[in-house]
Amino acid sequence: MLAYIGRRLGAMIVILFGSSFLLYNLAAYSGDPTEGLRTSTDPKAHQQLLSLIRTLHLNVPPPARFFIWFKGIIGGFTGNFDLGMTRDANPVSTYITNAIPVTIRLVLLSTILAILFGIGFGIVSALRQYSRFDYALTFFAFLLYSLPIFWVAVLLKAYLAISFNNFLLNGSIAPLWIISASAISGFFWAAVISGTRQRVLAIFGIAGSATAIFLELLSLNKWFTHPGLGPIMMLALGLGFALGVTYLSTGLGNKAALRSSLTVIVLGFILYFPVEYLLKKYGSLSTLFEMLLVTIAIAWAVGFGYAKIDRRPVIRTSILTSLFAALLFVIDKLMKSWVPYVNTDAVHQRPIPTIGQANDLLPSGNFWFTFLDTVLHLVLPTVALLLISMAGYIRYSRGTMLEVLNQDYIRTARAKGLSERTVIMRHAFRNTLIPITTIIVVDFAGVLGGAIITERVFGWRGMGTQFNNALNNQDLNLLMAVQLVTSSMVILANLVADLLYSALDPRIRVVGKK
Amino acid sequence: MSIFSRRAKSIEEQTEGDIFNKETEGLTQGQIVRKRFIRHRGAMVSLIVLVSLILFVFSTLGFKIFGFGFNGWWKYKIIDIPALRTDGCSVALPGCPTLDIIPGKNFGFGDHPFGQDDLGRDYFALVMRGAERSIEVTVVIGMVAGVIGTVVGSIAGFYRGWVDAILMRINDFIITIPTIIVASVIGFHFGNKGVLFLAVFVGFFIWGGLSRLVRGEFLTLREREFVDAARVAGASNRRIIFKHILPNAIGIIVVSVTLLMSGAILLEAALSYLGFGVVAPDVSLGLLISQYQDSFTTRPWLFWYPGLIIIIIALCINFIGDGLRDAFDPRQRRRISHKDRAAERNPTAKKK
């Protein structure tokens, strides 16, 4: 195993060498960084030209100059990693280390959401193969697949940001919107659950009217201008989630799992005020992380206590439930900060921003303000990226699930008399996840490359912006640094995918030597 | 087939197999593929839409190659600057679109179906020229990448050994540079040399995925019995590649080239949007969107039409690719409808 990883890492350096060499020469031969200074009539220009040639080694021809650059990369093994200098004689590494976290923040949330929604929709679509829902979802996925992100971005800015901000000034929903939202929700749930005609009509009615009543209540209570969850709402949501996750994960027949997940939610409800106080007093990322660990530990203990035999599924269920409860606490806290946040001078009643990665005018020091600000700046890019990368996951997980459902072991499982839930969730779903894992890893690397466009559209200052600047200013070292990071991500992602595949699928083994 | 063996298996599956076999009996590979493709409703509709769109787009402004060509049927060229239309538009926003798809007094194209830009240029002509460019770029990228990917993949998969090792290392180099990065570098430096030059150059760098697929297919096919049989019969390598292996790999090639082209049209739009693709005074759909995205709130038509055309083209290509994949996949089985089952259970009913 270690030998295999070592060999792959060795191959990675060779590949990085090759691809960098290719791009370096392509970029170096097709543009001249000194052009502006050569034609300049400024008396200082000659001096600047000489210093530019000295810092960037421009007197060396590109193929040889590449080796000067590559020596700096190889230096990483002896501890003096060097990415070279930019045109204005600053080290490239400072630019890149500032840019990488921004890009990761941009794409991480949307990737996670795209995976969750994509796999969920894909699998439901496969289970309802050739139904209207399936056809509609297939069309929808292809449509998303064909959208240019910069085009979607403009629409989102206009409708999701500007119009929604306008709506928030008042906060009451027009009847037409309520009717259409309920109709959509009715169609959606009727198609997902499906069944006989009578049942479909009943589901349509129930889901539609529930949505209408819910929206009307929110609208009447001015919930959109004064959002909040509160302990009772959180208890209701938490209990609903606990039931749902227990049903999917172990089935409601498993009393230990049901009891432990419900206990976790009730514990959360009892501890509402202490936790609330802790969050308010010690708000910081590290505290949040510690509290998350404590939550998981408590959930583990609860699951361990309830289950006498077969503990793993019970503990898994209660931990999943506790994660949701933790998320509810964070959302509740963010919603509490909403009204003061919206009324600050920096935000000025327009909470959803159309551009940028953070509001620089916001007073610093308040953790929850900064957190909410970050989340709100993520809304538009996340929705845009989510829509576009979800399509691939829908198609892929649908295809994989259909393939798995045709396998002999599924028929065996059904023949044994297992319930349909067990067949789907334990036998089919898990096997579907194996090939999807590899796609996810490779896709994430691709999204990092695509950040060039996303960052431009939404005005973020990450790797993509550095790349654009580098290209426009003929800044070769900066350009190569971006390429190096994204290419390494692609190669590492492939390695991780292969390792994951062999870890998940016992039939496939990585070989130490050929 | 006795009644017992049918009972022994799942009846459902047996029936499906029978229907499936009956359908493909006595047909050549090409006929089966064509039949399956025609049955894929989404793909057929897309094909018709795409072909009509292409004919429409290329006939609008006309073209000239080597002195041969024809003038388009549309009255404006992209360089014409007619006066801004004011009647029927709000006073602040002259040049609004005249296209009306609701039957009535103004039904039809009108004078400026997609409106006019701020100078007064006819936007319909601009969008059509942009669509021409986008389609050309897509086709050229698809062809260049398709040919290189197929050749490299076939040679690597067929000859294996050191040829394979070298070609696949080169492939690795190309595949690890993210497409958008290499395409931006190319576009930034060569964008001014014309759109076809750009397309060919981009095509040189995005065949990586295709060649891997083709190589994999060749590696499997070359071990099959029919290849051994051909070799024993004295066929040359060239004959084996072109007559025996390539026809069997054509499905995977056609499907991936189609999907590559749907990616290429979005890539061209993205490059032009970033300013690294087609540059003014030439027109492309991505460039139009990038130029007029700020006028979305004031003159939305300048933003909507180029985007819609891109989406229609990409959507059609994706659906055609899906239909082709279904058509070429030997495991693919059509949904067996109740009608088919009934016909199978009662064969006499069908004959009358």
Our CA angle for B88, B294, B115, nearest 5°, is: 30
Residue A150 in tokens: 């910069």
Contacts of A464 in chain B (CB under 8 A): none
Residue B91 vs residue A239, higher pLDDT: A239
> For residues B326 and A402, is the Cβ–Cβ distance under 8 A?
no
Contacts of A482 in chain B (CB under 8 A): 181
pLDDT, one tens digit per residue, over A454-466 is: 888 898 888 888 8
pLDDT for position A287: 87
Inform me whether the C-beta atom of residue B182 falls under 8 Å from chain A C-beta atoms: yes
Q: Is a pLDDT exceeding 70 seen at residue B333?
A: no
pLDDT, one tens digit per residue, over A322-342 is: 999 999 999 998 888 888 888
The yes/no answer to whether this complex scores an ipTM above 0.85 is no
Neighbouring CB atoms inside 10 A of A132's CB total: 12
In 3D space, the residue among A69, A72, A95 whose CA is nearest the CA of residue A482 turns out to be A95
pLDDT for position B2: 31
Cα A390 to Cα A189, A387, B202, B265: the distances in Å are 20, 5, 26, 20
Residue of A nearest to B269 (CA): A148
Catalogue the long-range contacts made by A424-429 (C-beta closer than 8 Å, 24 or more residues apart). Answer: A424/A127, A425/A248, A425/A249, A428/A401, A428/A404, A429/A123, A429/A401
> Residue A389: which residues within 8 A CB-CB, separation 6 or more?
A110, A111, A114, A118, A443, A447
Inform me whether the C-beta atom of residue B243 falls under 8 Å from chain A C-beta atoms: no
Annotate A58-121 with DSSP letters as a single string.
Answer: TTS-HHHHHHHHHHHHHGGGTT-----B-TTS-BHHHHHHHHHHHHHHHHHHHHHHHHHHHHHH
CA–CA gap between residue A205 and residue A238 (Å, rounded): 25
Considering only CB atoms, A15 lies closest to which of B173, B184, B314, namely: B173
> For residues A272 and A234, is the Cβ–Cβ distance under 8 A?
yes
Our CA angle for A461, A465, A466, nearest 5°, is: 105
Does a cis peptide bond (omega within 30 degrees of 0) precede residue B281? yes
Helix (H, G, I), strand (E, B) or coil at B216: helix
Q: How many CB pairs under 8 A join A and B?
A: 121
Helix (H, G, I), strand (E, B) or coil at B189: helix
Residue of A nearest to B170 (CA): A18
Residue A37 in tokens: 């200074």
Residue of A nearest to B335 (CA): A130
Sign of CA dihedral A60, A64, A66, A70: negative
A92 CA: distance to closest CA in chain B (Å): 18
Contacts of A479 in chain B (CB under 8 A): 185
Helix (H, G, I), strand (E, B) or coil at A348: coil
Contacts of A491 in chain B (CB under 8 A): 176
Q: Is a pLDDT exceeding 90 seen at residue B51?
A: yes
- Residue B172's Cβ-count burial label (10 Å; 0-12, 13-18, 19+) is buried
**Could you tell me which residues are beta bridge partners of residue B122?**
B116
A→B interface, C-beta within 8 Å: 14-16, 18-19, 21-23, 26-27, 30-31, 130, 138-139, 142-143, 145-151, 154, 158, 446, 448-450, 452-453, 456, 467-468, 471-472, 479, 482-483, 486-487, 490-491
> For residues A141 and A395, is the Cβ–Cβ distance under 8 A?
yes
Residue range B44-69: mean pLDDT, rounded: 83
Choosing among B49, B177, B310, B331, which should be mutated to test the A contact, i.e. which has the most A CBs within 10 A?
Answer: B177
Helix (H, G, I), strand (E, B) or coil at B122: strand
Residue A325: alpha-carbon gap to chain centroid: 20
Contacts of A151 in chain B (CB under 8 A): 289, 303, 307, 310-311
> For residues A58 and A33, is the Cβ–Cβ distance under 8 A?
yes
User: CB B184 to CB A139 under 8 A?
Assistant: no
B69 CA: distance to closest CA in chain A (Å): 32
Q: Is a pLDDT exceeding 90 seen at residue A277?
A: no
Residue range A439-448: mean pLDDT, rounded: 81
Considering only CB atoms, B176 lies closest to which of A30, A148, A487, namely: A487
pLDDT for position B351: 42
Considering only CB atoms, A146 lies closest to which of B42, B262, B296, namely: B262
Q: Mind spelling out the 3-state secondary structure of A119-181? A: HHHHHHHHHCCCCHHHHHHHHHHHHHHCCCHHHHHHHHHHHHHHHHHHHHHHCCCCHHHHHHH
Instruction: Rank A35-44, A66-75, A161-170, B152-161 by mean pLDDT and report only the highest.
Output: B152-161
What pTM was estimated for this model as a whole?
Answer: 0.86
Residue B338 vs residue B299, higher pLDDT: B299
Q: Is a pLDDT exceeding 60 seen at residue B30?
A: yes
pLDDT for position A328: 92
Contacts of A147 in chain B (CB under 8 A): 311
Residue range A93-102: mean pLDDT, rounded: 88
Q: Mind spelling out the 3-state secondary structure of A494-509? A: HHHHHHHHHHHCCCCC
Residue A471 vs residue A365, higher pLDDT: A471
User: CB B274 to CB A491 under 8 A?
Assistant: no
- Residue B160's Cβ-count burial label (10 Å; 0-12, 13-18, 19+) is middle
Q: What percent of chain B has pLDDT over 70?
A: 80
Q: Are strands B68-71 and B62-65 parallel, antiparallel or unpaired?
A: antiparallel
In 3D space, the residue among A395, A422, A330, A409 whose CA is nearest the CA of residue A367 turns out to be A330
> Residue B30: which residues within 8 A CB-CB, separation 6 or more?
none
Query: pLDDT class for B301, splitting at 50, 70, 90?
Result: confident
User: CB A148 to CB B303 under 8 A?
Assistant: no
Residue A51 in tokens: 């210093």
pLDDT for position B240: 92
A72 CA: distance to closest CA in chain B (Å): 20
Q: Is a pLDDT exceeding 60 seen at residue B6?
A: no
H helices of chain B, in order, are 3-8, 11-24, 29-39, 41-61, 123-159, 161-176, 179-190, 195-203, 208-221, 225-232, 237-239, 246-274, 285-292, 301-328, 338-345, 347-351
Residue B298 in tokens: 């004031």
Query: pLDDT class for B17, splitting at 50, 70, 90?
Result: low
Q: Of chain B residues 16-75, which have a CB less than 8 A from chain A?
A: 42
> Residue A512: which residues within 8 A CB-CB, separation 6 or more?
A1, A2, A3, A4
In 3D space, the residue among B221, B217, B224, B219 whose CA is nearest the CA of residue B254 turns out to be B217
Choosing among A103, A128, A154, A388, which should be mutated to test the B contact, i.e. which has the most B CBs within 10 A?
Answer: A154
pLDDT for position B16: 55
AA identity, residue A201:
L
Residue range A474-497: mean pLDDT, rounded: 86
pLDDT for position B108: 67
**Helical (H) or strand (E) element with B223:** none
